Every structure is written in structure tokens, then in C-alpha cells.
């Protein structure tokens, strides 16, 4: 039988970021697959459940929780390590989609932020389709990304007039500031790679964007770098996890 799956972007942490399209999609689903990333990140699973409770109207649904395997960071090849990690998650997805959905039902994955931006769900479902292990059809419902939330909360536009924007990771930023980019959005930076940036830039940093725990810091990077490092460490120790992103912008006139 064909499995119909919705990949729903649920925003950057604030339930008010849920779009009307996402609410309609929530009300089409019969079963929700909820990732369990350990006790420290139970809050993320709880928020997914709260979103369903708040927005699903007069419809019976069920939830299937699954453990997310840990990525082996000691792998000799970064890309190889990620590919192996995705393959292990794909095996879990295949099992759930085969065993937990009845004929005619619709399943859903609730993806933090925007499913097409730095998330693996689409790639994993594509791989399942390519393997022909299941007859799978899926639809993407876009969400409010942390990049959008960051700009809104700092009350800035992402770009400088006539200048390109780069979106990268902390790992790639550590290799050097992207050339020919006036503004650089950095995601997935667990190592404070901004501390190694030598260019004279401004930074707009945010964590837990849109939530009651939100933290915002901005200013010249060389002046606020230590503050962000300190605040980030304290927040992670307090909550056990952190989701943050930031924008680096070349100083006007460079």
C-alpha cells in the first residue's frame, strides 16, 4: 500500500510560528512520529505534543515515539559519518512507516524550523523512495526557520543592499569567512567558531528564538564575543541543550 507522509515545519520554538498551512496539515494526519533525543531534549518532544494538542481539532490521532541514534563524531570522514547516521535513521523510519500505519492513513513528521534548511528528514525519505522498500509519497509544508526568527527578533534585514548572503555551518566557518559575502548566517555551531573570525564584523546572535528562554546579543564581534561564549555556556548548562544561530555582517564601508 502507498504511505502518505507529511513533513511539517513547526517553526523555531514558538507555537505561534505555526502557519495556517501547517495547522491544516496537522489536521490531516492520523499518526505522528515523535523523535526522542534523550532526557536532556525531552522539552523538544513535549513541544511537539503541545502543538498537536493546541491545533488539532476534533480528530483522533496517535503518536509513535522513536529513539534517534547518536551520530558517531569520531568517524574518519565527516560526510561518511553523516551518511551512516542517516542510514541508521532511515532503517528506523522504514520500520515505523511499514508497521505503524494502516491502509489509508496519513503519517507526519514534525520538523523543527524549516524542513528544507539544515534538516535530514527530506533526504532520508528520498533514500527510502530510492530503495523501493516502500511505496512512499510525501509532502513538504514549510515552516518559520530560525534564520527568519533571528532577523525578526533583532529587527534587521538579513542582507546589505546589493550584497549576497551566505548560509553556512560553524564547521565551515572555521575554515574561513566566506568570500564575496556581505552577510553570513551560521547554523549548527557547537564550537563557537565565531571566536576565530578575524574580519571586522558585527554579530547578531540568538538562542531559543521566540520562546520564553530567548537570549539575544548583538554588537561588534570583537566586543561581544566573550559575552556570547559565556552566556551560551551558562544557558547550555542550565537547560542541558541549546539551539542558537547568528548572523555575521561585514562592517559597512568594508
pLDDT given for residue 2 in this prediction: 85
pTM above 0.85, yes or no: yes
Report d(CA 99, CA 114) in Å as an integer.
Answer: 27
Q: Which domains does the chain have, with CATH numbers?
A: 2-141 (3.40.1010.10), 146-250 (3.30.950.10)
Return mean pLDDT, the chain. 92
* Interatomic CA distance for residues 49 and 45, integer angstroms: 6
pLDDT digits (tens, 9 = 90+) for 93-130: 999 999 999 989 999 999 999 999 989 999 999 999 99
- Percent of the chain scoring above 90 in pLDDT: 78
- Cα–Cα separations (whole angstroms), residue 130 to 82, 110, 114, 135: 18, 22, 23, 10
Quick one: average pLDDT of 50-58? 95
Would you tell me how many other CB atoms lie within 10 Å of the CB of residue 105?
15
- Strand, coil or helix: 253: coil
Tell me phi and psi for residue 164, to 5 degrees: -75, 165
Per-residue pLDDT tens for 148-171? 999 999 999 998 888 889 999 999
Q: Give the pLDDT score at 254.
A: 44
Mean per-residue pLDDT for 194-208? 95
How far apart CA 98 and CA 114 sit, in angstroms, is 26
Given a cut of 80, whether residue 81 has pLDDT beyond it is yes
pLDDT at residue 252 is higher than 70: no
> Which contiguous run of DSSP H or E holds residue 50?
helix 42-55
CB 245 within 8 A of CB 224: no
Amino acid at each position: 500500500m502507498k504511505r502518505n507522509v507529511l513533513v511539517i515545519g513547526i517553526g523555531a520554538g514558538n507555537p505561534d510560528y505555526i502557519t495556517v498551512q501547517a495547522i491544516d496539515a496537522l489536521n490531516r494526519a492520523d499518526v505522528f512520529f515523535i523523535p526522542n533525543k534523550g532526557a536532556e531534549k525531552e522539552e523538544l518532544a513535549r513541544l511537539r505534543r503541545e502543538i498537536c494538542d493546541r491545533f488539532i481539532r476534533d480528530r483522533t490521532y496517535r503518536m509513535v515515539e522513536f529513539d534517534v541514534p547518536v551520530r558517531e563524531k569520531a568517524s574518519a570522514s565527516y560526510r561518511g559519518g553523516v551518511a551512516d547516521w542517516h542510514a541508521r535513521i532511515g532503517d528506523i523510519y522504514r520500520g515505523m512507516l511499514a508497521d505503524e500505519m494502516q491502509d489509508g492513513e496519513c503519517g507526519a513528521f514534525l520538523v523543527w524550523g524549516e524542513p528544507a534548511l539544515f534538516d535530514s528528514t527530506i533526504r532520508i525519505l528520498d533514500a527510502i523512495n530510492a530503495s523501493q522498500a516502500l511505496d512512499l509519497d510525501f509532502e513538504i509544508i514549510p515552516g518559520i526557520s530560525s534564520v527568519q526568527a533571528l532577523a525578526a527578533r533583532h529587527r534587521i534585514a538579513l542582507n546589505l543592499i546589493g550584497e549576497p548572503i551566505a548560509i553556512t555551518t560553524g564547521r565551515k566557518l572555521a575554515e574561513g569567512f566566506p568570500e564575496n559575502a556581505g552577510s553570513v548566517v551560521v547554523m549548527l555551531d557547537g564550537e563557537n567558531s565565531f571566536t576565530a573570525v578575524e574580519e571586522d564584523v558585527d554579530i547578531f546572535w540568538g538562542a531559543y528564538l521566540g520562546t520564553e528562554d530567548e537570549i539575544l546579543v548583538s554588537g561588534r564581534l570583537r566586543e561581544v564575543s566573550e559575552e556570547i561564549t559565556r552566556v551560551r555556556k551558562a544557558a547550555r548548562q542550565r537547560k542541558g541543550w541549546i539551539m542558537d544561530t547568528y548572523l555575521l555582517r561585514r562592517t559597512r564601508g568594508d
